[in-house]
Amino acid sequence: MSGPRTLLDRLWSAHEIRQREDGTSLLWVDRHLVHEGSHHAFAKLAARGMAVAEPGLTFAVVDHYAPTRRGAGPTDPDIGRMISTLRDNAARHGVKLFDLDDPEQGIVHVIGPEQGLTLPGLLINCGDSHTSTHGAFGALAFGIGATEVAHVLASQTIWQRKPAAMRITVDGVLGPGVSAKDIALNWIAALGTGGAQGAAIEYTGSAVRALSMEGRMTLCNLSIEGGARMGMVAPDQVTFDYIAGRSYAPRGATWDHAQAYWSGLRSDTDAEFAKDVSLPAGDIAPTVTWGTSPDQALPVTATIPDPDTLQAGGSEAAQQALDYMGLRAGAAIAGTPVDQVFIGSCTNGRIEDLRAAAAVLAGRRAKVPGLVSPGSAQVKARAEEEGLDRIFADAGLEWAAAGCSMCVGMNGDTVATGKRCASSTNRNFRGRQGPGARTHLMSPAMVAAAAVTGAITDVRPLLRGRAV
């Protein structure tokens, strides 16, 4: 295409093989990530007597159903069978498997970047909506359904209609105790869960550039919760420094060539976006959800909204959410008691997230029980080298192995009916963490603050005088 181009335009055209008359494009897939839930797609291949087209570009991960207490094993025989089926399929097709006992195992959206499988300019697919995480590297990354997983396995291609390009610019400096999680919850609350419906969001601005790769991954991860198809950040030196030396990253002359190419993956200054949103970083406070949708969120200093003051259509949903959550309109969200806490997930289970939580918990004791599940075995090992596991244990929280865990309410990592959980995860819909569970989404530091106070609490006073 001629004229100014967005990052989306550049990535899309680099992968487009052909375009149908209806505008749908056939795209080449550079990385295909599969997990236990991909067994339906492998079954489709088996029924047709087909093999995986590009086993060297396909990587299997045990994560969604991984027991976080390794010695105990899966709590359900069906889960054990799904893990065994993934092993069998990986072996049959010659696909690399990150199994439970692998020192490189972990949540797929954590280990992809960690291993250097995620690189700028790639098209990455996985049968999981939070594949958008990988867009933090300037990649075209999005989740796909079971039928599409089978198509990619069989052909290493996928049919997709190009989404509209949207830009969210966050300029300025984030305040103390404010993180990428707060940026994401802030814009989702402002625009709604359909505010970016079907779009490819490019995050820009000085506050985004100041984020670490962990922070950028959190931001892109949560794009889906605002209705977006994907999120992305143009690669820069922060990106290159993170990738350098990782297991699957380019080396030598190939690294030099790759870095030169990656440096050109950005939107032209005069590129046009279908939607443009600007947020002042200084206006963003630690944010927490009060309802059953990620857009039902507010600053921790605010009061729970009155459904009658919301727009038509939103008032009924808000009242239903308040009823389910056991909350009262007009009450302060801060001080809401919690029954337990969870730190982990593909959103906030990286080493930076654990450090942020540990900075709050160090020398303090939790008033409620909680679970900390690192995003990967490597994150777990790094945290133990730094003594973070001892901080969590001394505070009274359980230190577990890597897996999706309480984010999806698996293998007994659940919240009981009617109980309230402060969680660093990505979804708070009814029953996400267990039937009748009440989930409040927030940053890892905010979860730690809730742990030591036993209630939803502004983390900022607890961080004064502490290195973060």
Which of 302, 136, 311, 319 has the alpha carbon at shortest distance from 223? 136
The pair phi, psi for residue 421, each rounded to 5°, is: -125, 130
Tokens of 269: 């200054």
Task: Give 389's strand partners.
Answer: none
User: How many angstroms separate the CA atoms of 88 and 39, rounded?
Assistant: 10
Tokens of 447: 């979860």
Which of 322, 340, 318 has the alpha carbon at shortest distance from 331? 322
User: How many angstroms separate the CA atoms of 213 and 218, rounded?
Assistant: 9
The pair phi, psi for residue 423, each rounded to 5°, is: -135, 140
Residue ranges in the chain modelled with pLDDT below 70 = 1, 72-73, 312-313, 467-468
pLDDT value of position 309: 85
User: How many angstroms separate the CA atoms of 104 and 60, rounded?
Assistant: 12
What single DSSP character describes residue 106?
A: B
Instruction: Map out the domains of the chain with their CATH numbers.
Output: 7-162 (3.30.499.10), 165-236+266-283 (3.40.1060.10), 288-463 (3.30.499.10)
The H or E element containing residue 51 is: none
Yes or no: say if 193 and 228 are a contact pair by the CB < 8 Å rule: no
Task: Give 97's strand partners.
Answer: 60
User: How many angstroms separate the CA atoms of 223 and 203, rounded?
Assistant: 10
Which of 458, 96, 59, 413 has the alpha carbon at shortest distance from 287? 458
pLDDT value of position 312: 57
User: How many angstroms separate the CA atoms of 248 and 11, rounded?
Assistant: 21
pLDDT value of position 10: 98
The two beta strands, 157-161 and 24-28, are: antiparallel
Yes or no: say if 189 and 302 are a contact pair by the CB < 8 Å rule: no
146-155 and 39-47 helices, crossing angle to 10°: 50
pTM confidence score:
0.96
pLDDT value of position 56: 98
Tokens of 377: 């075995």
Which of 145, 295, 155, 293 has the alpha carbon at shortest distance from 229? 145
What single DSSP character describes residue 457?
A: -
How far CA 420 is from CA of 76, 369, 428, 437, 457, in Å, comes to: 25, 12, 11, 6, 14
